[in-house]
Structure 1
């Protein structure tokens, strides 16, 4: 919990669902994306229905989790000004490592 104004969480212009949708451009047309509750997560599904979650951890870092295997990794979002296409490409590359 923030104790001062300087400790307030940073706001980002994109939701996890926005960047999950951006990843579809790099993953292919057989992948799908759905929003999580209240826009707090984005859910990707592979052609063989393996689910992945894009979300923000308690420390404020963007993560990608293979919900079937339970493996996860943090994603870069500060680089390139948080551009959704850059993050989408990072998601597509990280999925290959978590699949």
Structure 2
């Protein structure tokens, strides 16, 4: 079973550098932190989708991803989450 916390661990590895992941209780969510960056949270919403949020972004959800059941699907979602964080982080720096 892949939890939001496990996805956050994989995303932190992809982002590299100072990115770190930490799990929520029962691994129900994953938090991603880096120096000079917003804190990002991955959790599952009421529709069963993995949601990415930035704590300082008032608009709420940055991206959502449907549940996947294959190793290839999990890898694709993990890479998509990393890309969404990169894009959000870059656009936040330009404001």
Larger-Rg structure:
1
Is the TM-score greater than 0.5?
A: yes
Greater relative contact order, per chain length (Cα 8 Å cut-off, separation 6+) = 1
Residue 86 (str. 1) matches residue 76 (str. 2)? yes
- 1:65 maps to 53
Structure 1 regions of 5+ residues with no counterpart? 1-12
TM-score by length of 1: 0.74
> Judging changes above 3 Å, is the alpha-carbon distance between structure 1 residues 60 and 49 closer, same or farther for their aligned structure 2 residues?
same
- How far is 1:63 from its partner? 0.8
- 2:39 maps to 51
SS in structure 2 of the partner of residue 59 of structure 1:
coil
Q: How many residues align?
A: 86
Across the aligned residues of Structure 1 and Structure 2, the Cα RMSD in angstroms comes to: 1.9
TM-score by length of 2: 0.77
SS in structure 2 of the partner of residue 60 of structure 1:
coil
Structure 2 regions of 5+ residues with no counterpart? 90-95
